[in-house]
Structures are given as C-alpha cells and as structure tokens.
C-alpha cells in the first residue's frame, strides 16, 4: 500500500512506471522485461505471448529488405502477371484487372476489398516502415510526425495479403490450365519476390527498437497529472506501460489508453452473429458461374473443391477446404466459445483458450484464398459466350464472412478472459506494478 493515504493526499505521486515494464496484450499481466540482448526473445511469463524480440540490426536490415520489396512492388504494379489464350483469343491480367472486372460485374465492394488487400495495404505497410526507418536515420522528419505514421503499422499489418493472394493464384492457375493455354508473366515473379521480401522485412523489424529510437529523438507526449487512483495501463500501439486514467494519451505515442477495449464483447458478438448468418448463403449460393460453349454451370465453394479433387489435385483441394470451409467455421466456433466463457467469467482452461484465440488471429486471413481465386478467374476468362467466368452471389457473402470474422477477432480483448482470475492468483509482477 502507499504510505500516508488520506483524503488530502490524493495528489501524492505514485511510484513511476518503469520503462522495462510490459503489459501482455493477451492476458493483461504486467511483467518486467529481462535484461535484453540482440536476438533474445522476451515472452510473457503467464501465457508465453512474445513481448519483445530484440534484433541485432533493427534499422539497416529492414531498410534493405523493405527497399527490395518496394522495387518488386513497383514492378508488380506495372507489368502483367498472367496471360491466357483460348479459342484463338488472348487475355492478360495485371494485379488490378480482377478488381476492375469484379466492379464491372456489379461486385464493386468485393473488387475494392481485393484491391485494398493486394495493392493499397501492402504499399502503405511498406511505405510506413521505410519512411519511419529513413526518418530515424536521417533525422530530417520530426519524430512526432514519424510516431504519427508508425502507429498505423500494427493495424494495417494483417490486411496486407500478398502471400495469401499467391496461394489464390495457385488455385486459379490450376483451374485455368484445364480450360485454356496459360502463360506465366514476369510480374508473377515480382509478386513472389515481394512476398518473400515483405516477410523478411517483418522478421527483421524490431518495433520496440523503433519506438525507443523515436522516443529518444522527441520529447515525450504531455503527461497527465498522476493521482493515487491512476491505474497501470499498457499502450496498445507502442507497448509502453503508462500510469493514467481511462482516456488519457500514451506518454510515448499519444494513443488513447483504455484498460480494456471498449464494448469488446458486444462488438465481437455483433460481428460473429453477422458472419454466422452470412456463412449460410456463402456456402449455399454459387460463387462462380462458368460458361463454356453456351452452357453455364454454377460452382459453390464446395463444388470448386470437388472439381479440384476430380482433376486429382488432392493437396490443392485439401488446401481450399481448409481455408474456405474449416478456418471460417473454426473461427466462429472458437470465438463463440471464448465469448460465452468470458461472459460467464470462467477461470478454467485460460491458457488453452488464449492459445486458440492466438491461432484464429494468425490463420484468419488465409480464408481469402477463394476470393482471390475468383478475382483472377473473372479477370482472365472473358471470351463472351464461348467461354466466360462471372462472379455470383456467394462471392460477396463469403468475402463478408472473412472480413467480419477478422473484425470480430480484432474487437475481442482476450485480457477479459483473464480478468476472471481472483486477485490472489495475480502474479507478483502485476501486484508490484499496481502498487499493491
């Protein structure tokens, strides 16, 4: 307890938070980082979530990887990546052809989604990393501006889906090869290079080092007066532990601090219920209408999987089944379970539930494979009544399921599960940080 706690002493300074305290984003435990050295990983002592992975070259390596990714990105934007010829006619696709064609077919939102996650968000993510790191190195841009830019790196990350797009391409390619002569073009290799270099940039980037460097170059944001009632709150953007009240700004990056995400359970339920309702039409209605020599055939998601299996492409059929049927269903079931157990304040199987939540957070974006496959097929197979592929009602429903489940995962605050623990169960570190 604090010494001399009286009504008149409400403004007595509480012990300052230490720079090496971290609040785990998954279980809420505030722990002290160990003495860090390059390539050491600091995990949360309670749920094993990674708190900081320190890098030996936190600036030079991500700049090098990011620059090469940028070159691949620019090339992939301007060159075609696939050409097909059938019935004496010829079509080629650039990365934006699919979204444009989806728009022309009346599925503008699906087209915009594909354009956003394959072109806009990967570009933004690369731009944010490169501008911030160059800014730190050159000291030309004020640190305050760089902080305002870099805080978007985390939220945009999962929406840059070049890797998922390439798997969608693989599925589309095998289906196209069955009806036409397909030629891979140079931009495809640029996309593969972009995927590898973006993964390398992510692996080399040390966000904690970036925030510390930005902090060293700037005065911390205005500090709110600290009172006895001020709680310990970890910043969701930069990870710094602050002492403050609900709604205060983070000392390091200015993000509004909340002890827990606002209306987390209600918002997550709203997204889960909407996704469950759309999961039914997404599987009942066809996602594609394939016309060949005047005869049309609609394919549902399951129908597409059977077609791949009929060609003998079992690994690909399994992959699409996993991404399009299993993962969305698993996400909905796991989310429903963690939401119910959070509302009943169950303190059982906390670690298992946290791991399950981490898993669906990690794999959720891979469900976009089918949406990407559709966008590539409609971009290329446009030979009038002879051979034509058109998106159908199931496609926007399925895209909405993927997006809504991703929103549900990001709305839910897993620390709420751990709030069911009694104070006696709290780790010593939490009690120290809470000033107990």
Nearer Cβ to Zn ion (49/341): 49
User: Is there a contact between 241 and 232 (Cβ–Cβ < 8 Å)?
Assistant: yes
Residue 151 binds Zn ion, judged by CB under 5 A: no
Could you tell me the smallest distance in angstroms from the CB atom of residue 28 to Zn ion? 7
49: contact with Zn ion by CB under 5 A: yes
Contacts of 141 (CB under 8 A, 6+ apart): 131, 135
Q: Is 415 in the site for Zn ion (CB under 5 A)?
A: no
Among 44, 61, 194, 308, binds Zn ion (CB under 5 A): 44
Beta carbon nearer to Zn ion, 237 or 387: 237
Nearest CB to Zn ion, comparing residues 250 and 335 = 250
Minimum gap (Å) between residue 21 Cβ and Zn ion = 13
Residues in contact with Zn ion, counted by CB under 5 A, come to a total of: 16
Residue 245: name the closest of 234, 229, 260, 221 by CA: 229
* DSSP sequence for 259-279: SS-TTHHHHHHHHHHHHHHHH
Backbone φ, ψ for residue 72 (5° rounding): -60, -40
If one asks whether residue 46 binds Zn ion (CB under 5 A), the answer comes out as yes
> Tokens 């022309």, residue?
104
Stretch that binds Zn ion, among 19-27, 118-126, 260-268, 315-323 (CB under 5 A): 19-27
Angle at 330 between CA 327 and CA 335, to 5 degrees: 125
What span, in angstroms and rounded, lies between the C-alpha atoms of 30 and 47? 12
In the stretch 217-236, what mask flags binding to Zn ion with x, by CB under 5 A?
Answer: ------------------x-
Q: Please, what is the minimum distance in Å from the beta carbon of residue 44 to Zn ion?
A: 3
Q: Which residues of 355-380 are buried (b: 16+ CB within 10 A; e: fewer)?
A: ebbbebbeebbbbbbbbbbbbbbbbb
Query: Which of 30, 253, 338, 376 is the binder for Zn ion (CB under 5 A)?
Result: 253
Q: How far is the CB of 51 from Zn ion (least distance, A)?
A: 8
Binding flag, residue 408, Zn ion (CB under 5 A): no
Is 214 an interacting residue with respect to Zn ion (CB under 5 A)? no
Q: Does 190 interact with Zn ion (rule: CB under 5 A)?
A: no
The owner of tokens 């909905």 is 332
Pairing of the two strands 288-292 and 295-299: antiparallel
> Judged by CB under 5 A, which of 97, 118, 230, 237 binds Zn ion?
237
Q: Is 238 in the site for Zn ion (CB under 5 A)?
A: yes
Token pair of 16 as six digits = 């300052």
Q: Give the dihedral of Cα atoms 278, 283, 286, 290; nearest 10 deg.
A: 130
By CB under 5 A, tell whether 47 contacts Zn ion.
yes
250 touches Zn ion (CB under 5 A): yes
Which positions touch Zn ion (CB under 5 A)?
24, 26-27, 29, 44, 46-47, 49, 235, 237-238, 240, 250, 252-253, 255
């Amino acid at each position: 307890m604090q010494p001399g706690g009286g009504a008149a002493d409400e403004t007595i300074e509480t012990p300052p938070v230490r720079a090496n305290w971290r609040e785990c984003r998954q279980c809420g435990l505030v722990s002290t980082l160990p003495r860090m050295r390059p390539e050491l990983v600091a995990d949360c002592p309670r749920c094993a979530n990674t708190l900081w992975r320190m890098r030996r070259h936190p600036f030079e390596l991500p700049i090098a990887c990011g620059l090469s990714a940028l070159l691949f990105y620019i090339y992939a934007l301007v060159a075609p990546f696939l050409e097909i010829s059938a019935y004496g006619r010829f079509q080629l696709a650039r990365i934006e052809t699919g979204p444009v064609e989806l728009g022309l077919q009346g599925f503008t939102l699906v087209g915009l989604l594909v354009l956003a996650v394959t072109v806009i968000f990967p570009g933004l993510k690369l731009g944010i990393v490169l501008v911030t790191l160059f800014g730190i190195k050159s000291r030309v841009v004020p640190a305050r501006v760089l902080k305002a830019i870099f805080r978007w790196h985390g939220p945009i990350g999962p929406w840059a889906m070049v890797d998922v797009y390439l798997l969608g391409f693989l599925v589309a390619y095998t289906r196209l090869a069955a009806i036409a002569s397909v030629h891979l073009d140079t931009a495809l290799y640029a996309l593969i290079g972009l995927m590898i270099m973006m993964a390398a940039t992510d692996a080399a980037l040390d966000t904690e080092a970036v925030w510390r460097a930005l902090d060293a170059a700037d005065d911390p944001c205005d500090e709110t007066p600290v009172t006895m009632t001020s709680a310990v709150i970890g910043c969701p953007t930069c990870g710094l532990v602050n002492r403050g009240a609900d709604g205060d700004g983070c000392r390091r990056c200015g993000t509004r601090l909340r002890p827990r995400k606002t209306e987390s359970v209600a918002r997550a339920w709203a997204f889960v219920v909407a996704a469950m309702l759309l999961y039914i039409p997404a599987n009942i209605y066809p996602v594609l209408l394939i016309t060949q020599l005047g005869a049309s055939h609609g394919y549902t998601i399951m129908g597409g999987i059977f077609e791949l299996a009929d060609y003998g492409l079992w690994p690909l059929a399994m992959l699409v089944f996993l991404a399009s049927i299993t993962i969305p269903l698993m996400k909905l079931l796991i989310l429903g379970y963690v939401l119910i157990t959070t509302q009943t304040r169950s303190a059982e199987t906390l670690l298992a539930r946290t791991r399950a939540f981490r898993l669906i957070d990690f794999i959720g974006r891979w469900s976009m494979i089918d949406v990407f496959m559709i966008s590539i097929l409609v971009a290329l197979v446009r030979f009038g009544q002879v051979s034509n592929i058109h998106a159908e009602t199931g496609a926007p429903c399925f895209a909405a399921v993927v997006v809504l489940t991703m929103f549900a995962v990001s709305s839910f605050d897993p620390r709420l599960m751990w709030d069911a623990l009694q104070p006696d169960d709290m780790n010593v570190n939490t009690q120290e940080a809470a000033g107990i």
